């Protein structure tokens, strides 16, 4: 049984996630820090729920199912008002991490009360670091992300956007946290009203970050490591690329075309 008020909760949004989520759930269950786990399935017609029930029968996993895909952020927002935790983790169904990771992250947050979001270092399945946006998105940075494969300054701009041009060995303040794995103080998640539902997919994490920055710091900590099976689907799927473009336009319209 979980304690009356768990220190940590976590939510994974599923959409045709398949068996890969089983490794992520196992990491949560193996965590030295007890985690109250919620799964939200954005397509109740697939077999993900059955896979989970078959593999984790008897475990306290709270599964919510939607008859249609309501989007990443809006699915996470289903937990607003329901969480009892002090810290909440937003994570993807394709991440894995060491058993001591979450406890170490909580200890850091306990010792640094001015930090509202903690974001880890991401490593790919190939052992190479994954560089995701850590600076405030701008029109130039977003354009560079699309055009980085072309000749010109785009690759260097993408490196600045993700801080890939720096060797970071100590915790540092950033302005964007990655939605594939972030720890936020639950009261702050409530205060900013979770994710903006206008972002169906993409940019919702940067938007959440800017809202949270009104209440404290966002820290990237390179000693906290998560393995992420990143596929960059928007580079392979035109529909996802179009969703990313729409979200980028909404983000710039909301926060300024700078």
Condensed to tens digits (0 to 9), the pLDDT of residues 174-198 reads: 999 999 999 999 999 999 999 999 9
Summarize the confidence of residues 75-89 as an average pLDDT: 96
Look at the alpha carbons of 10, 16, 22, 24 in this order and tell me if their dihedral is positive or negative: negative
**How far is the C-alpha of 159 from the C-alpha of 165, rounded, in Å?**
5
pLDDT score at 5: 78
Q: Which domains does the chain have, with CATH numbers?
A: 8-255 (3.90.550.10)
Give how far Cα 101 sits from Cα of 32, 52, 82, Å: 8, 23, 24
Confidence of residue 237 (pLDDT cuts 50, 70, 90): confident
Confidence of residue 2 (pLDDT cuts 50, 70, 90): very low
What is the greatest pairwise CA distance in the chain? 57
Angle between helices 238-255 and 139-147 (to 10 degrees): 170
pLDDT(129) > 70: yes
Confidence of residue 1 (pLDDT cuts 50, 70, 90): very low
Task: Single out the residue of 136, 139, 140 nearest to residue 153, CA to CA.
Answer: 140
Condensed to tens digits (0 to 9), the pLDDT of residues 93-127 reads: 999 999 999 999 999 999 999 999 999 999 999 99
């Amino acid at each position: 049984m979980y304690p009356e008020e768990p220190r940590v909760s976590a939510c994974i949004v599923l959409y045709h996630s398949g068996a890969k989520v089983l490794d992520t759930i196992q990491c949560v269950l193996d965590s030295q820090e007890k985690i109250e786990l919620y799964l939200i399935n954005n397509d109740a017609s697939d077999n993900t729920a059955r896979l989970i029930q078959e593999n984790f029968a008897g475990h306290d996993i709270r599964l919510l199912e939607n008859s249609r895909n309501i989007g990443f952020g809006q699915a996470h927002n289903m937990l607003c008002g329901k969480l009892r935790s002090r810290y909440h983790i937003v994570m993807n169904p394709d991440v894995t991490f060491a058993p001591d990771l979450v406890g170490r992250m909580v200890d850091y947050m306990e010792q640094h009360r001015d930090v509202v979001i903690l974001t880890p270092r991401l490593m790919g399945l190939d052992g190479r670091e994954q560089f995701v946006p850590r600076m405030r998105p701008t029109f130039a940075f977003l354009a560079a992300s699309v055009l980085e494969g072309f000749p010109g300054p785009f690759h260097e701009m993408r490196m600045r956007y993700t801080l890939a041009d720096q060797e970071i060995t100590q915790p540092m303040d950033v302005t964007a946290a990655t939605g594939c794995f972030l720890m936020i103080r639950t009261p702050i998640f409530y205060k900013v009203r979770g994710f903006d539902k206008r972002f169906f997919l993409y940019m919702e994490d940067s938007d959440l970050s800017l809202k949270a920055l009104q209440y404290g710091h966002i820290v990237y900590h390179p000693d906290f490591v998560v393995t992420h099976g990143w596929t960059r689907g928007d580079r392979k799927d035109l529909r996802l690329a179009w969703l990313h473009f729409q979200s980028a336009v909404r983000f710039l319209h909301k926060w300024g075309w700078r």
